[in-house]
A and B are shown apart, each in its own frame.
Chain A
Amino acid sequence: MKKAFLFFVLILTLGIARAQTDTTATDSAMNMLNEGEKEESVIATFKASRLIYSQTTETVKKNNLNFLVIHRFGDIGGSDGGSSTLWGLDNSSDIYIGFEYGISDKLDVQFGRSKFEQMLELGLKYAILKQTADNSKPFALTVAGKMGLKPYKVTTEVFDDYTNRLSYMAQAIIARKFSSRFSLQISPTFIRNNLPFPFIEGNEQQFFALSAAARYKFTKRMGIVVDYSHPFSSFRQNSNSPKFYDPLAVGIEIETGGHVFTIDFANAKAISELNYLSDTESSWGKGQFRFGFTISRMFSFGPNKRNKDKSNY
């Protein structure tokens, strides 16, 4: 019985080997042609250049323009929230309108304006490293820098020296796409406010912060996003009046072709890193969190022979 079985297996193996040799002349030649193909980089770690607060490792590609409208409403709960303000929808803590243009596939330039502190900002973002599928580069690295200007009288009267109106941010963003569903990034950030912001005695002009953000897609075009930051500032840690809190936001991201929408809840009022890392005084625990959304719309201005009379993607 055993022998018969072995014999059967032998015959079967030979048969398979034979069948293989029938077809693999072409296949092996094909394998030869495919040898030495360069390893592909990982794309679409994130769907947009922003998660909720944080910039992602994605840059706007060459000749594309990303138009951003970001909105944060008023406190849902606490003394400023409740039904009298329709849970914050009557108020806007911050509105950001931004443009990001791709100079090359790796470099984009950004311009934006916030309601918060009426700040204008100009920035650059450069993708240094791309994650590769073979993990020879296990993560992507992008650096971003921006400068903020407060052109008007805002919370303080002490803009006697013009340079006091300026703030700076330098950031490294490190991201890994663990699977097509899950991506995670951390971004060490340096903030410098020429005039300490908020302008309170003892506040530092500059400090470091660390942000962590993640996305989990539950369908191809929809995902949950989480975004958290912690400023390493002894002033903010110890201050009791006002008290400072770490920005934390959760949201849902929806992609529809050329648009990416984010609907979120966040405690930080401000949208620009220069503002929310420096000055987040609202707490989830006190109901001081708000509804917010981001609309990110990509326009393509590249050489495009066709589609002249048809819509933009």
Chain B
Amino acid sequence: MKHLLVIIALVAGLIKDDAPAGLYACKNVRITLYSSAPLEDIEAESNAGKSVFNPATGELAFNVAIRSFKFPKSLMQEHFNENYMESDKYPQASFRGKINEKIDVNANGSFPVTVSGVLDVHGVKQNRTVKGTVNVNNGSVSMSSEFMVRCADHNIEIPKLVFKKIAETIKMTVSATYSPLNNQAK
């Protein structure tokens, strides 16, 4: 195990050294979730998502700590973590994928895109293709997307007792403004 860690560290170190220039990153991705049910609308927000975008390959990665989602009611927040997302077992949700269209970060404009990859929520991976928009404005890159996540797809159980309060499908929005990674170092 120790050896494995050393090897991983070495590999990671090597990669870091020849990480291609031109990676874009965002440390404060805004992610919201919205559940609309007969008895109650529930909305939560995190501004602590992380994202990395590689314009050369189109690779796109997102990570967010489940605990960073803030709810208007503290009890909801506790139940979200404790009963639904089990954030002690699955502390992060992530997405790893590729933008299917080629994005030129030197050309200003707004481009509709589709992104295909793996969405990992509550420890369950799902292949997803979602629509989004990429905005390029004088070297600054921003992205936004809206998509639905079915609780059942990720083994998130909603007890019958509260099904009128929590929707089976949750609307997610993601928005990120990127800057070149090297400028962010330290």
**Given A17-B11, A25-B23 in contact, is the A313-B40 Cβ separation under 8 Å?**
yes
A137 on the B face (CB < 8 A): no
Q: Chain B residues near A311 (CB, 8 Å)?
A: 39-40, 165
Q: How far is the CA of A249 from the CA of B186 in the complex (A)?
A: 55
**Given A20-B11, A33-B50 in contact, is the A220-B83 Cβ separation under 8 Å?**
yes
Chain A contact residues, CB within 8 Å of chain B: 17, 20-21, 23-34, 37, 40, 42-44, 61-62, 64, 105, 133, 180, 220-221, 255-258, 298, 300, 302-307, 310-311, 313
Judge whether A28 and B75 touch: CB under 8 Å: no
B148 on the A face (CB < 8 A): no
B153 on the A face (CB < 8 A): no
Q: Chain B residues near A25 (CB, 8 Å)?
A: 15, 19-20, 23, 54, 59
B43 on the A face (CB < 8 A): yes
Does more than half of chain B's interface fall in helix, strand or loop, or is it mixed? mixed
Q: Chain A residues near B125 (CB, 8 Å)?
A: none
Contact residues of B between 63 and 100, Cβ < 8 Å to A: 63, 65, 67, 72-76, 78-79, 81-83, 86, 88-89, 91, 96
Q: Chain A residues near B121 (CB, 8 Å)?
A: none
Closest to A44 in B: B82
B119 on the A face (CB < 8 A): no
**Given A34-B63, A257-B161 in contact, is the A29-B19 Cβ separation under 8 Å?**
yes
Please give 6 more A-B residue pairs, beta carbons under 8 A apart, in addition to A23-B96, A29-B181, A44-B82: A43-B81, A133-B88, A255-B83, A306-B72, A311-B39, A313-B76
Q: How far is the CA of A298 from the CA of B157 in the complex (A)?
A: 22
Judge whether A26 and B75 touch: CB under 8 Å: no
Judge whether A300 and B61 touch: CB under 8 Å: no
Judge whether B76 and A105 touch: CB under 8 Å: no
Chain B count of residues within 8 A CB distance of the other chain = 43
Judge whether B16 and A61 touch: CB under 8 Å: no
Write the nearest CB–CB distance from A152 to chain B, whole angstroms.
36
Q: How far is the CA of A307 from the CA of B71 in the complex (A)?
A: 13
Closest to B74 in A: A61
Judge whether A34 and B12 touch: CB under 8 Å: no
Write the nearest CB–CB distance from A44 to chain B, whole angstroms.
4
B25 on the A face (CB < 8 A): yes
Write the nearest CB–CB distance from A48 to chain B, whole angstroms.
11
B1 on the A face (CB < 8 A): no
Judge whether A257 and B79 touch: CB under 8 Å: yes
Judge whether B81 and A44 touch: CB under 8 Å: yes
Q: How far is the CA of A275 from the CA of B164 in the complex (A)?
A: 42
Judge whether B65 and A37 touch: CB under 8 Å: yes
Judge whether A256 and B161 touch: CB under 8 Å: yes
Q: How far is the CA of A27 from the CA of B54 in the complex (A)?
A: 11
Judge whether A43 and B82 touch: CB under 8 Å: yes
Write the nearest CB–CB distance from A106 to chain B, whole angstroms.
12
Instruction: Give 21 pairs: A residue, B residue, CB < 8 Å, sorted on A.
Output: A17-B11, A20-B11, A24-B15, A25-B54, A25-B59, A26-B61, A27-B61, A27-B96, A33-B25, A33-B27, A33-B50, A34-B50, A40-B65, A40-B67, A180-B82, A180-B86, A221-B159, A255-B83, A256-B161, A305-B72, A313-B73
Judge whether B73 and A62 touch: CB under 8 Å: no
